[in-house]
Structure 1
Amino acid sequence: MGKPAKERTLADHAYEKILAMISSGETAVGDKLPTEHAMSEMLEVSRPVLRQALKQLREDGVVVSRQGSGSFVQRRPDTAVLTFAPVGSIADIQRTFEFRAAIEGEAAFLAAVRHTEADLAKLRAHFKELDRCIREGELGVEADEAFHQAICEASGNQYFATARTSMKSNILTGLNLTRNLSLSKPRERMELVQQEHRRILAAIIARDQAEARAAMRAHVENAKNRVFEG
């Protein structure tokens, strides 16, 4: 049984408030967070809800727990994270990345074997459009989305594309956040993301199933981690 929806929502709000404290510099890297009791009172949540929020922050690599000493800030996310992400959506964006890594990794695995020449033509066109976006300093959310959707379609199993379409708004929110963050960094950041796309495409063209799956999973997990790079 998962957490009740209300408890999860409260935990997500607590998670974002702690994130805001850290990204604003109010609590610096290396600092110890207040005690659970103090934070529960400050955020007006129960301790089980607070623990859920802290667990998510640990999974995201933002805080680290030291046995018997409490929780410490491990890295400071860019304040732009809170600017580009809709209020209350950051924990959900991270969960969407987890779902995508699983679904799209398997779609890439199948696309490596089942793709047609028409599928490859589409993938190359979307990849070329992403190259153009980088050259011209454009965000490229639509091209990025189209590239990933085309891989699901190339899997030859319509359920991958259907599953992805069912959560398209969440996916676009995540893409919008990560590409905005990349755009605010030196151009090399966008090129690094494109190198990950290149690796996926090369594996699919080579019909290397294991490499296609590994490349896709690495790309989506890297995107998840880049949200909190600082």
Structure 2
Amino acid sequence: MKENDPLQIKSVKRKTLANQVIEQIIDLLLSEQLKAGDKLPSEMELMEMLHVSRPVLREALSSLEALGIINRKTKEGTFFSTKVGSEPFKIMLALSVGDIDNVIEIRLTHELGLVGLAAEKISELELKKLSENIEEMEQTNEDYTEIDREFHRIIAYSGSNSLTEGMIDPILNMYDKTLENIALKDRSKSKTVQQHKDIYHALLNRDPIEAYRSMYNHLDHVRDRIGRSVEDRRIN
């Protein structure tokens, strides 16, 4: 799109006006008329282009802001976000809360892809953080859930990809929320530490295949423990 070309946007019908406004604004991104970080037209301009009232437009903009798609800055205007927010992903995951199989599968599919990417892109600083994280888990005598979570978060962020950054925390949060009332069987810190070490060494060697294999072994072990714990709870 050339800099001075007028934006192509449709006027909307009265039915579900706010939803139609949302669709038209998002279409500015999908059609590449505007890009992430670009400033949207003013409220007055959008009202004229869409043929809607100020309350309808503001309702739509508030929804878009809540979803992390736009940012409204006082005296500066409204801008498309520069990277994907986690709110839409949180909403989608919220619909699956309590569905253990779905939550485990989304974690498997997401993290197996991330660890392969990490093997290619992880920095020396991030490798150092992983090593320190493993050492911290080995030494603690308390609950190590948050240390475990941080290990997976470091790997996710090492890919330097704004899409994955917006997804990993909602996945881990929903995973913890789903399992908070399940007493996991056979939780062995030493086994978890060893599995984390296997993942770390694969990343250290920049070996995406071994990193994938090690992460799969780790998450599959967790899946097995969860399955046995859930079955015991059903029996009892």
What's the TM-score once normalised by structure 1's chain length? 0.52
Q: What corresponds to 1:171 in structure 2?
A: 175
Contact 1:113–1:207 (CA under 8 A) maintained in structure 2 = yes
Q: What corresponds to 2:134 in structure 1?
A: 127
**3-state SS, counterpart of residue 167 of structure 1:** helix
Distance 2:218 2:176 in 1: 16
Q: What corresponds to 1:161 in structure 2?
A: 165
Deviations 1:82-138 (A, max 9, x none): xxxxxx965x233221111111111110111111111111111211121123xx1x2
The within-5 A match list for 1:1-230 is 90=98, 92-133=99-140, 136=141, 138-173=142-177, 181=184, 185=186, 189-229=188-228
Structure 2 gaps of 5+ residues are 1-95
Of Structure 1 and Structure 2, the greater helix share is in: 1
Pick closer, same or farther for the CA change 1:226–1:113 going to 2, 3 Å.
same
Which protein has the larger Cα radius of gyration, Structure 1 or Structure 2? 2
Q: CA deviation at 1:177?
A: 6.4
Deviations 1:22-49 (A, max 9, x none): xxxxxxxxxxxxxxxxxxxxxxxxxxxx
Identity of aligned pairs, percent?
25
Distance 2:146 2:115 in 1: 19
Distance 2:135 2:110 in 1: 24
Counting matched residue pairs gives 134
**3-state SS, counterpart of residue 206 of structure 2:** coil
Distance 2:160 2:106 in 1: 20
Structure 1 gaps of 5+ residues are 1-87
Contact 1:93–1:170 (CA under 8 A) maintained in structure 2 = no
Q: CA deviation at 1:139?
A: 1.7
Distance 2:207 2:178 in 1: 28
**3-state SS, counterpart of residue 155 of structure 1:** coil
Contact 1:115–1:155 (CA under 8 A) maintained in structure 2 = yes
Letter in 1 for 2:134: F
Contact 1:107–1:152 (CA under 8 A) maintained in structure 2 = yes
**3-state SS, counterpart of residue 136 of structure 2:** helix
Distance 1:205 1:155 in 2: 14
Distance 2:168 2:207 in 1: 23
CA RMSD after TM alignment:
2.4
Pick closer, same or farther for the CA change 1:167–1:139 going to 2, 3 Å.
same
- Whose relative contact order is higher, 1 or 2, with alpha carbons under 8 Å and at least 6 apart? 1
Pick closer, same or farther for the CA change 1:208–1:177 going to 2, 3 Å.
farther
Deviations 1:57-104 (A, max 9, x none): xxxxxxxxxxxxxxxxxxxxxxxxxxxxxxx965x2332211111111
Letter in 1 for 2:193: Q
**3-state SS, counterpart of residue 227 of structure 2:** coil
What's the TM-score once normalised by structure 2's chain length? 0.51
**3-state SS, counterpart of residue 104 of structure 1:** helix
